[in-house]
Each structure stands twice: as structure tokens, then as C-alpha cells.
Amino acid sequence: MLSLAMAQPEPRNLSRAKTAVIKYHDDGQYFRDIECVAGWAQGWIEQRAAARTPGERLLVIFDVDETVLSNFPQMIATDFGYKHDEWVVWVEQAAAPAIAPMREVYQTARRLDVAVVFLTGRRAPEEVEGTVRNLKLQGMGVYEKIIFQEASDTAATAAERKRLRRIQLEEAGWTIIASLGDQGSDLAGGHAERIFKLPNPFYEVP
């Protein structure tokens, strides 16, 4: 008989966890939570743009995946798995739908003459063309730049890579008034006046 001292709680059943995630997405709570974050971000951008001082170069940083573009169709097709080649094909199709509340945040920034940079974990060069085309198709094709993950990047984690990129943008004269992402690693390390974290129960990037 197994002693109580050796017994460990059983992890949550994976099938049940996936079912719960799909329900969270499909019953609308996921999008309601995104709408809340998007509303806070829009309010801040409007407030900060109104308080702009002469000569300030204001910038908003967006992550891409599960921030402005949804990969949920691809996640369902792969049962929440990840295979690099299948992912690249998905990116090349440029078929990811926009996350509408976040597109509205993007549009608010553009309307108020606040520059936009996309800072993504997508890789150059193989994921560049599909990403650019997908953003354009979804109404987010005007921006200062997209910063991809490069083979030359030496940061050990996504969090550190993105922190260093924000520092570079500041050194180039930008004031980063907001940084938006679905991962803690999108936002960790400072160098933004405000951060806005979207829900993501699907995966985690350190």
C-alpha cells in the first residue's frame, strides 16, 4: 500500500484543462477580459497623448501573437501542440484574425499621432513576409517598424530580448508610453510608462 508520505496530488487532467481553455474562449469571457484591458489602454493613450510636451516622440509597443493577432484556429487544428514547420506554414498563410479590441487600441494610437512598434517573438527571415501581410490584411499595416527575433539575438529569454529592444528604442529618442502583450515576458523589465497584460491561457513564453 502506498504510504501517505509518498503520495502526491495528481496534476490536472490535460484533456479537462484543454476543455476548460476552449470554453473560456468560446463562451466569450476571453474576449470580455481583453476588452477590459483594451479599454484601459485606450484611456491611457488618449490621456497621455493629450499631455504630450513639445518635441516628445510618443510610442506604443505591441506584441503580435495573442495580442493583436489570434492563432486560436491554428491551436485548435494542432490540439494546442507546436511543430515548427506547421507553425511557419500558418504564418505564411497570413490567416490569423485580428483581436478586434486590440486593433482599436492600435487605431487610437495612430489617430493620435502616436507611433507604433510591433515587438514580436516571430523569427526573421522566415516569418517576416507572412507577418507583414497578415497585419496589413487585418488593418494594422502602418507602423514605425516590426522588430523580429533575429538569429544574432543573444538574450537568454524572450523577456530579456524585449527589454533590450525597449532600451534601444528609448536610446533612439522614443518615449514608450505603453507596452501591451499577452505574456509576462512581453512586459518584464520596465522601460515603458504603463504596461497592459492580456489574458493567455493557451501557452507561456519565459
pLDDT in tens, 171-192: 999 999 999 999 999 999 999 9
DSSP run (H or E) holding 137: helix 128-137
User: Given this model, what pLDDT does residue 8 score?
Assistant: 77
pTM of the full predicted structure?
0.93
Q: Between the CA of residue 199 and those of 35, 43, 105, 144, what are the distances in Å?
A: 11, 19, 16, 26
User: Given this model, what pLDDT does residue 5 score?
Assistant: 58
Q: Is the pLDDT of residue 4 over 80?
A: no
User: Given this model, what pLDDT does residue 123 score?
Assistant: 97
Q: Is the pLDDT of residue 126 over 90?
A: yes
User: Given this model, what pLDDT does residue 6 score?
Assistant: 58
Mean pLDDT of the chain: 95
Q: Is the pLDDT of residue 2 over 80?
A: no
Residue 177 near residue 59, CB atoms below 8 Å: yes
Structural domains of the chain ordered from first start? 21-197 (3.40.50.1000)
Q: Is the pLDDT of residue 7 over 90?
A: no
